[in-house]
Structure 1
């Protein structure tokens, strides 16, 4: 017998009081990733909510009234091409903070019935939305598997799945020394020599933030070093702005209490040579962001600090080190293995939505070409 699952929409007030219920369910969920924690999701909503966003968080309850699933959505009210308006359902936090491995939250036994109930709810309330755009979706996500099984016209929707990012990761099934033995002799000796020079000869100090008193200064240094490097390299970065700073300060503050944040830096003087911002959750380390000074780059401080953090993860018995999205060369220095994240686009299977979808696809392909050809003269 298939259990009936009731879906309701969670209010903002309820969202603010769901910490224990949310995180307890996440611990039992098939997809248990750090960016699905209540602290991350709620901090994002509290900082970035505005008049063009509506919380669309769906909760599933079984016949006994127990919460068995959460779909952490919000509704983005978007206007484009003049007055053309669309309501787009997205994962909370997916735009400004660029998290990886997102999914709905539910236990394995509800891996089919909960996403089915969510989709049925969305079909019944199809006037609320025009498009569903889910970014940063885990390659094994329950929502991806369920939507992939929905054929065109079935449940009234059509799904497109697009690989969006490679996420390198290291399986930690050895000791740290055993892992280093997987390197070539030259590569291993070079890394150990850099560590010895910086840590022993030049007396660099490893510092890890452990209290709120140290937090604000470290976050300021992280942002400053990150932007210093971006300017030095002539690259654009999305890791900036007052709201993003407020979000990360708050998320770090909340997650540090649960020992789920690792803020580490190498110092010789002030400011630090390098600063890394990592998470740890569910026997995994996640590398999220970094700042590197010009002097630190010359001294290979980034590679040295990476090696120290990876060694720490081995010693703590972690099973994986996740470098998250990005195919940068320095990530593949440590591993050759990667998984993919996906963007899922779900549209209602009707003539108007087909026309809208193909129009936006055509504009998306054509506009960049026009912009390359036509460059207006500077005043």
Structure 2
């Protein structure tokens, strides 16, 4: 077991950084103001925000112990943090002590990483890596998932731990694009694959009675739009066996909390398209720095032939440009509609580091055997049956 006092009394790492830890949810709750200031002074991604990770701990993984490493300079200023959680997994009767990112599961958190002030990324990541190395007998495996492939943290872990102990694996492709500063929406449309269809569909919708698009940002106005979003998201995925992105009441409760907190920070943009007073499409977006983050969406299947989802996505691009944002990020997934709007891609990776015991390697081996078994089953089953199994699993997950 890793104790908070071990980290607080650990050696000074580097000339100016001291490593400590926050090990309870109540202590983490009190970090919001300082955490927000650090995130604003960093290049870290949107899902490293306190407003995302604190409700994740409460709603998604209340049994997991937070272990948020902190790095401070000689004046006590917070220079960086590493939001981890500690859990014990029983793998074929063997207990495995696992450290992983807070926010790593259930809610689609891309670009998780060390949060560090600009210019101090390497020094902060190195301080955390070295303290974890000094305490490696207290954990069996360190799993850092969904970092950007160019993350400094990846290089630092490879330099601090032996090559034999570090495993790197690819995760997701994240389509995005850079928006021209002060560029017009018409100019943007001309270089997309959706221009003609978007303009035609929007023109038809604009002729319908009660057509409008609402943008909700106020924390006091979220209840109705979020209810519409959940309904439309569920309806869109119902024919495919249920959503992989938002499934279960716990995840919905998380998003209720997170959107409220993000709105308090003026980071949320929730778009709702209405026709005749009824919501027919919704986009859940996050503003992070100069970027618009397209997180999730939904639409009424009865309106799919009118391309309401397409039109609403186009309107989010228009709004981003008019707001002066310079990046639009679709996050994970290579769905064809994304490549019609954007032209660039970035990738995420995961890093696994084995600790000082045999349990971590046993855990990795068990995972590899399970993966081989799943792949063998896919080869035996016809493609249609594989999809049926996937849909059944999604339905069961949605129920629970």
Q: TM-score, normalised by structure 1?
A: 0.89
Q: How far has the Cα of 1:240 moved from its partner?
A: 2.1
**Residue 257 of structure 1: aligned partner:** 264
Instruction: State the match for 1:47 in structure 2.
Output: 59
| Equivalent residue number for residue 131 of structure 1 | 141
Question: After the TM superposition, which residues 94-173 of structure 1 pair with which residues of structure 2 at under 5 Å, given as runs?
Answer: 94-150=104-160, 152=162, 158-173=165-180
Does the aligned pair in 2 maintain the 1:61–1:68 contact within 8 Å? Answer: yes
1:228 is aligned to 235
Residue of structure 1 in register with 2:348 after alignment? 341
- TM-superposed CA distance for 1:213, in Å, is 4.7
- Mapped to 2, the partners of 1:264 and 1:56 lie a distance apart of 35
1:93 to 2:100 alignment: no
Q: 1:58 aligns with which of 63, 66, 69?
A: 69
SS at match of 1:3: coil
Matches within 5 A, 1:139-288: 139-150=149-160, 152=162, 158-173=165-180, 174-183=183-192, 187-201=194-208, 203-269=210-276, 271-288=278-295
Show the counterpart of 2:29. 16
Quote the offset at 1:235 in angstroms: 4.9
CA distance in 1, matches of 2:360, 2:199: 58
Q: Over residues 172-221 of structure 1, what are the superposed CA-to-partner deviations in whole Å (9 max), with x where a residue is unaligned? A: 0132222112136xx42222111111123555211122444531222122
Q: Per the alignment, in what secondary structure is the counterpart of residue 41 of structure 1?
A: helix
Question: How many residues are paired up?
Answer: 367
**Does the Cα contact within 8 Å between 1:112 and 1:146 map onto a contact in 2?**
yes
The aligned residue for residue 28 of structure 1 is 41
In 2, Cα distance between equivalents of 1:257 and 1:352: 43
Q: Work out whether residues 208 and 276 of structure 2, in 8 Å CA contact, stay in contact via their aligned partners in 1.
A: no
Q: Deviations over 1:200-254 (max 9, x none)?
A: 3555211122444531222122112211221123455241212111111111111
Instruction: Measure the CA separation in 2 of the matches of 1:347 and 1:37.
Output: 27
Structure 2: gaps of 5 or more residues: 1-12, 386-400
2:395 maps to: none
How large is the Cα RMSD of the aligned pairs?
2.4
Query: SS where residue 146 of structure 1 aligns?
Result: helix
Partner of 1:136: helix, strand, or coil? strand
Which segment is superposed worse, 358-367 or 339-348?
A: 358-367
Aligned pairs (5 A) from 1:280-319: 280-319=287-326
Find the aligned partners of 1:363 and 1:188 in 2 and give their Cα distance: 45
> What is the alpha-carbon distance in structure 2 between the residues aligned to residue 124 and residue 139 of structure 1?
26
Question: Matches of 2:220 and 2:20 in 1, distance apart?
Answer: 41
Question: 1:130–1:64: structure 2 CA closer, same or farther, 3 Å change rule?
Answer: same
2:282 and 2:297 in contact (8 A); partners too: yes
Which residue pairs with 2:336 in the alignment?
Answer: 329
